[in-house]
Amino acid sequence: MAVSAEPEVVVVGCGVAGLTTALVLAEEGRAVTVVSDRGPQRTTSAVAGALWGPYVFDDPRVLEWSLHSLPDLAAVAADPRSGVRVTHGVEASREPAEPPAWLRSMDGFATCGRSELPPGFGWGWTYRAPVFDMPVYLDYLQGRLAASGVTVRLLDSPLRDLEEVQGIAPLVVNCTGLGARDLVDDQDVTASWGQLVVTENPGIEGFFSDYPESEDPTYWIAHPDHVVLGGMVRPGRSDLRPDPEGAARMVARCAAVLPALGRAEVRDVRVGLRPARPRVRLERGSHHGAAVVHNYGHGGSGVTLSWGCARQVQSLVG
pLDDT (tens digit per residue) in 69-91: 999 999 999 999 999 999 999 99
The pLDDT assigned to 200 comes to 98
pLDDT at 241 over 80: yes
Per-residue pLDDT band for 286 (boundaries 50, 70, 90) equals: very high
The pLDDT assigned to 27 comes to 96
Least confident of 11-15, 52-56, 73-77, 277-281: 52-56
The pLDDT assigned to 56 comes to 62
Per-residue pLDDT band for 3 (boundaries 50, 70, 90) equals: very low
Three-state SS string over the chain comes to CCCCCCCCEEEECCCHHHHHHHHHHHHCCCCEEEEECCCHHHCHHHHCCCECCCCCCCCCHHHHHHHHHHHHHHHHHCCCCCCEEEEEEEEEECCCCCCCHHHHHCCCCEECCHHHCCCCCCEEEEEEEEEECHHHHHHHHHHHHHHCCCEEEECCCCCCCHHHHCCCCCEEEECCHHHHHHHCCCCCCEEEEEEEEEECCCCCCCEEEEECCCCCCCEEEEECCEEEEEEEEEECCCCCCCCHHHHHHHHHHHHHHCHHHHHCCEEEEEEEEEEECCCCEEEEEEECCEEEEEEECCHHHHHHHHHHHHHHHHHHHC
CATH number for the domain running over 1-83+133-189+277-318? 3.40.50.720
43: Cβ contacts below 8 Å, ≥ 6 apart: 14, 15, 16, 36, 138, 177
Which class is 87-129+192-274 in CATH?
alpha beta
Domains in the chain: boundaries: 1-83+133-189+277-318, 87-129+192-274
Per-residue pLDDT band for 55 (boundaries 50, 70, 90) equals: confident
pLDDT (tens digit per residue) in 183-212: 999 999 999 999 999 999 999 999 999 999
pTM of the model: 0.95
Least confident of 51-55, 187-191, 255-259: 51-55
* Section 121-134 average pLDDT: 98
